[in-house]
Amino acid sequence: MSRILFKCAMVMVISVTCSLLITGALMAANDMHDPRGYMIATVCPLLISPAISFLVFRQAEKLRLTLETLNRVMQELEITNAKLFEKSSRDSMTGLLNREAFFNYVDGARAQLAGSLLIIDADHFKKINDLHGHYNGDGALMAIAQCITTCVGLQDSIARIGGEEFAVYLATDDESQVKSIAETIREEVTRIEFRTPENQRVPLSVSIGGVVGMSKGSIADFFQIADRRLYEAKRNGRNCVCVQSNIKNAA
C-alpha cells in the first residue's frame, strides 16, 4: 500500500507541475496574468489525479501480485509433475526403473551409444517366500537390487521388470566386458549377508542371461534372446551366467 501511495503522490506532484507550466505558458502567450488561473491549474490536478492514479496503481499492484502467485504455482506444479513422473517410472519397492520406463530408456539410449542387455533372476525365490515369508522375500529383493546397482556404471541402467526379475542395460557392446560385469554381479550376490530378523542367514544367488549389442533390431527380440539365455542358465543349475554374443546365432 505504501508503494501505491508513493506513486500516487509522485503522479500528483507531476500533474500539478505540468498543469501550472501549461497554464503559465498559455497565459503568457495571451498576455494574461490572472492568479485564479494558477489556482485552478493547481486544484484540478489535486482533485482528479489522486483518485484516478490510486485506482490505476492498485489494479496494477493486484495484477503484479496475481502474476507472482501464478508463477509460483506454475513452478510448484512443474516440480510436482516432475516428482509424479519420476514416481510413475520407478518400482515402488526397490526404487529402480519399472518395466515400461526401462523399455523407453533402452529405446532412446541404444540410438546414442552401443549397449547390451542382461536379465537377472533371483534363484529359488518362491522357496525364500515360503520358508521365510514375503517380508523377508522383499528384503532379499532389495538387497539384490542394491548389489546390482553397486556393480554397474553410471551410464548403465537397472530396472525391476518382474516379481524377482531385473534387467540391466550396459553401455557397452564389448563381449568380454559384458560377461565380466555379469559374473561380478553373480559373485557379489552370493556374498550378500542377508539375514532374517531371527538372525537366520538366507543364501542368495541369481541366474543371468544376456545379449551383447543392441544397436539395431526390435527391443522385444533382444529381450527374448536374453530371456532364452536366462533359462539356459537355469537349466545349467542356476547361479551362473549365459550371454549370447551374436543375435544371428541365437537359438
- Cell reading at 101: 520406463
CB 177 within 8 A of CB 107: no
Please state, as a whole number, how many other Cβ atoms lie within 10 Å of the Cβ of residue 64: 10
Which residues form the catalytic set? 164
Beta strands in 86-221 (DSSP E): 116-122, 157-160, 165-170, 206-211
Q: Please, is 67 exposed, middle or buried when counting C-beta atoms within 10 Å of its C-beta (0-12, 13-18, 19+)?
A: exposed
Residue that the C-alpha cell 523377508 belongs to: 136
Angle between helices 99-109 and 219-235 (to 10 degrees): 120
Backbone angles phi, psi at 205, to 5 degrees: -155, 165
With contact defined as beta carbons under 8 Å apart, do 243 and 178 qualify? yes
